[in-house]
Structures are given as C-alpha cells and as structure tokens.
Copies of this chain bind each other. A is one copy, B any other.
Amino acid sequence: MHCFKSLENLKSAYIERIHQVSDERRSGKKSVGTFCLFVPDEIIFAAGADRMILCGGKNDTISIAEQYLPRNICPLVKSSFGSIVNDGCSGVKSCSHFSMVDMIVAENTCDSKKKMYELLDNYVPTYVIDLPQRPDTPEALKYFVTELDKFRDAMEQLTGNKVTNERLRQEIISSNETRKLLHSLYELRKRDPSPISGVDMLKILQKQYFLSPGELKEHLRMLISEVESVEPEGAHRPRIMISGCPMPGGNTKVPEIIEDKGGVIVVEESCTGTRSFWDMVDEDKEPMLALAERYIEIPCSCMSPNDRRIDNILELARDFKVDGVVYYTLQFCHGYNIEKYKVQQALKKAGIPMLFVETDYSNSDVEQIGLRVDAFMEMLS
C-alpha cells in the first residue's frame, strides 16, 4: 500500500518526545503516566503537567514481571509492570519513557490492573481513580464526578497549579480538536479500497497518548492531507474490523497477520481505536460534569451493562462497510473474553462473520493464527 511520509516521521518522534519530557522535567514541569482512557487528559494538561501512556506492548519485559505477578494474567499488564520495575532498563532495551514520570494516575477498571497498581506504588507514587462499574445511573455519574474532583485536587497538589474551569475548557476544546482529526482520518477509511492500511493506522494510534497534544495534531493533519490525496488502487480486499483489547506500542502482531493474508483493517473498535476518540466532551457544560459524562460512557468491557459497545460495533460495521470482524483479545482478559458471547450473537444476527483470536505478545502462535486468518479471508473473498 501507499507509504506515508508523516508515518515515517513518527519514527524519530519517540526520541524527540523523550528529550522534550526530559527537558520539561528539568525545568520543573511534572510528568504523569497513565494506563487507560478513563483518565481524562484534560485535567492533567489543565494542571500544567505532561502525560505519557505506560501501557506495555512488548514481550521482553514480561519475564521480569512474572517474578511478581502470576503468569496467567494478561500480557499488557505484565509487560507494563515489567517495564516500570525494570526502571533502569538494564538488559532490556527501549523502555526508557517508563521511568520518566513523577506520578502514575491509575484507575480501577479490570481485576489485573487494579491489583497490579497496588504493587506499582512501591516503584512510582500511584494515584488511583475509583471508577463506578455502571455507565448508566445518575448515582454512578455522581460518584465519578467526586472521584474526578479528587483527582483534580491531586493534580493541583502535584503541580502547584490551580486547575481553573477556564483552563479545563481550553483543554476540552483542544482534546475535541484531536478527536475531530481522528474522525476525519477514519472518515477517509470508509472509501473502498481504503487508502490506508490498519498497520499504518496503528502506528499513529499507538502514539496517541504518548505524543504531546500539539505534536499529535500536527502528525494527524499531515497524515490526513497525505491520505486524502491517495488515488484508489487495487482490487477489493476483505474489509476487516478488529474489535476487543487494545494494542499498545510494540504489539502489531495480529493486524500484520490480517493484512499479510489479504485483508485490510478499516476500523478498530478498541482503546487503540474508536473508543479513545469517538465521543466529544460537551464544551458548553460545566467542565468537570462534562468530562465525567463523556468518560463514564467509554464502552469498555469493565462496564456493566455494556450494550452501548454492541450497538457501536454494529454501527461501525455498517458505516465502514465491514466484511468481517476479528474479535481480538489478550489472553486471560476476562472482560473482553466473556463479552465475546454477546458480540458474537449480535454479529450473527446482523449476518457479519466473526473470527475469534485470543493471543499474547509472544510469536509462538503466529503460524497458527495465520492459518486461521487465512481461512477466514478465503471465506470472506
């Protein structure tokens, strides 16, 4: 497929970002590490702190984590924990940004992350936002508002800056701009053939919470302008939605297999996909309430009921003219694994084929997944 210069530029962005945060910290600016979409960036930025995502996508730090954590939990949790515990990076490469945060802002989402955060606090001060597990009651919203209020206070204490409503409003507008850019990019993927591959999209999606908002927007604008100018070429390839667990930086295994086998991913229903940017924050409401309302509705499987996710999947499948869905989960992710049943039933009813892939970060199952994806593509062609 087409080769995008703006994605090539991303390669150097990692090192540049490291230097940037390093300089910021020397000048007294605080840096916060997050793991999850449920932590509103707007509050962090409004407090004048920077933010980097700490979700691990690499296999090489997992063995470090397994000295502390059970083997049979999800690779994302183990990889992240291993990267942080391995602070100095001795023996394992490319984990440098994991040691560059003054505070971790965690959230009670799934069992493994929740309990992992307790251990993490021994290495980096870890602030935990409690999250109601219901997205649909006024009481849950109220509780979430109070939790976000406390988080705002904690950020004020960390940075020494006041988080004013005006600052929050500015950050909400800025984040909505990013969301709109991502919507524009996704809009282009509705073309057939899609002008950009899923593997390419993942490159920028994985940097979404790593880059500064300004840099991200710049990269997105460049990419949109490049993708817009791509001339449609080639035959129709099966248009795939990938739905389920996130794919943090370092993990591109399954998208690569799907596109090697002749499919093209046109939409990702995941935290490294639509869940991160789909909904806007209301710019006209009281900011803290607007943030709580928007974030509590993220259709993560940690929420119950989560019918909004099913509806969203069906809507995306229709809008992006999806031929088939690869339901992707990380091993031992109970939430997305159990929710598979409901998604499968809904897709069956809508006549959309689905392939289930449960995997980890190792390469041991690449051949086996390849064979299964191959058969799925044959069926869709």
> Which residues of A line the B interface, CB within 8 A?
68-70, 72-73, 108, 110-112, 114-119, 128, 130-134, 137, 139-140, 142-143, 146-147, 150, 301-302, 304-306, 331-332, 334-335, 337-342, 358
Closest to A108 in B: B133
Chain B residues within an 8 Å CB radius of A131? 133
Measured CA separation A253–B94 after assembly (Å): 46
Question: With contacts A130-B133, A143-B143, A335-B111 known, is A304 near B117, CB below 8 A?
Answer: yes
Q: Contact at B69–A115, with CB atoms within 8 Å?
A: no
Measured CA separation A130–B302 after assembly (Å): 12
Chain B residues within an 8 Å CB radius of A128? 134, 304
Residue among B115, B137, B142, B302 making CB contact with A335, cutoff 8 Å: B115
Closest to A144 in B: B143
Q: Contact at A114–B341, with CB atoms within 8 Å?
A: no
Residue among B114, B133, B306, B341 making CB contact with A119, cutoff 8 Å: B341
4 tightest A-B CB contacts, nearest first: A115-B338, A111-B334, A143-B143, A108-B133
Question: With contacts A139-B147, A147-B139, A341-B119 known, is A112 near B69, CB below 8 A?
Answer: no
Name the distance in Å between A154's Cβ and chain B's nearest Cβ: 13
Measured CA separation A183–B141 after assembly (Å): 39
Q: Contact at A130–B140, with CB atoms within 8 Å?
A: yes
Measured CA separation A332–B337 after assembly (Å): 13
Chain B residues within an 8 Å CB radius of A133? 108, 114, 130-131, 133
Name the distance in Å between A35's Cβ and chain B's nearest Cβ: 14
Closest to A116 in B: B338
Chain B residues within an 8 Å CB radius of A73? 334, 337-338
Most buried by B among A115, A139, A147, A335: A115
Measured CA separation A358–B304 after assembly (Å): 28
Question: With contacts A111-B334, A118-B305, A305-B118 known, is A132 near B134, CB below 8 A?
Answer: no
Chain B residues within an 8 Å CB radius of A114? 133, 302, 304, 335
Measured CA separation A142–B335 after assembly (Å): 27
Measured CA separation A376–B194 after assembly (Å): 61
Name the distance in Å between A128's Cβ and chain B's nearest Cβ: 7
Name the distance in Å between A329's Cβ and chain B's nearest Cβ: 9
Closest to A339 in B: B115
Measured CA separation A114–B332 after assembly (Å): 15
Question: With contacts A108-B133, A140-B130, A146-B139 known, is A332 near B115, CB below 8 A?
Answer: no
Measured CA separation A131–B134 after assembly (Å): 9
Residue among B111, B140, B147 making CB contact with A302, cutoff 8 Å: B111
Closest to A336 in B: B115
Q: Contact at B117–A334, with CB atoms within 8 Å?
A: no
Q: Contact at B334–A115, with CB atoms within 8 Å?
A: yes
- A-B contacts, 21 listed (Cβ < 8 Å): A70-B358, A72-B331, A73-B334, A108-B304, A110-B334, A111-B334, A111-B338, A112-B338, A114-B335, A115-B301, A115-B339, A117-B304, A118-B342, A119-B338, A119-B342, A130-B134, A139-B150, A142-B143, A143-B143, A332-B332, A332-B334
Question: With contacts A334-B70, A335-B115 known, is A130 near B130, CB below 8 A?
Answer: no
Question: With contacts A140-B130, A147-B139, A335-B111 known, is A341 near B304, CB below 8 A?
Answer: no
